[in-house]
């Protein structure tokens, strides 16, 4: 079941749209418990309005990007009816 979910995601429109928009090369790491992406690694994305090389700025930019993208990505909530946390939230 888990491999089928991963294959469906990797061949589906959400991932392919991300690849087209971001460009470069990307890899997905999966959460075994939920079957959803837990991290993506890749070539990088050009960020508008970068304000400096600090962890706070990196966090701000990451959260902004995730808020823009998360509605179309599989979430923990869609993987488990008992999960109520916000997908892609920092730990």
Question: Which of these, 35, 28, 25, lies nearest to 74 by C-alpha position?
Answer: 35
Pairing assessment for the beta strands 37-42 and 26-30 based on DSSP bridges: antiparallel
Per-residue pLDDT of 6-64, as tens digits, reads 888 899 998 898 899 889 999 999 888 888 888 889 998 888 788 889 999 989 988 88
Q: What is the DSSP string of 49-67?
A: T---SSHHHHHHHHHHHHH
- Higher-pLDDT residue of 39 and 1 is 39
Give the predicted TM-score (pTM) of the model. 0.62
Per-residue pLDDT of 52-86, as tens digits, reads 899 999 899 888 887 877 666 665 555 443 333 33
Cα separations in angstroms, 90 against 5, 9, 37, 54: 23, 22, 14, 16
The reported pLDDT for the residue numbered 26 is 93
């Amino acid at each position: 079941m888990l491999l089928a979910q991963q294959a469906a995601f990797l061949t589906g429109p959400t991932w392919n749209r991300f690849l087209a928009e971001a460009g470069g090369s990307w890899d997905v790491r999966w959460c075994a418990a939920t079957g959803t992406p837990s991290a993506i690694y890749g070539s990088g994305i050009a960020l508008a309005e970068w304000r400096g090389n600090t962890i706070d700025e990196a966090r701000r930019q990451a959260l902004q990007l995730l808020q823009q993208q998360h509605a179309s990505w599989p979430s923990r909530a869609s993987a488990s009816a008992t999960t109520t946390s916000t997908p892609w939230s920092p730990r």
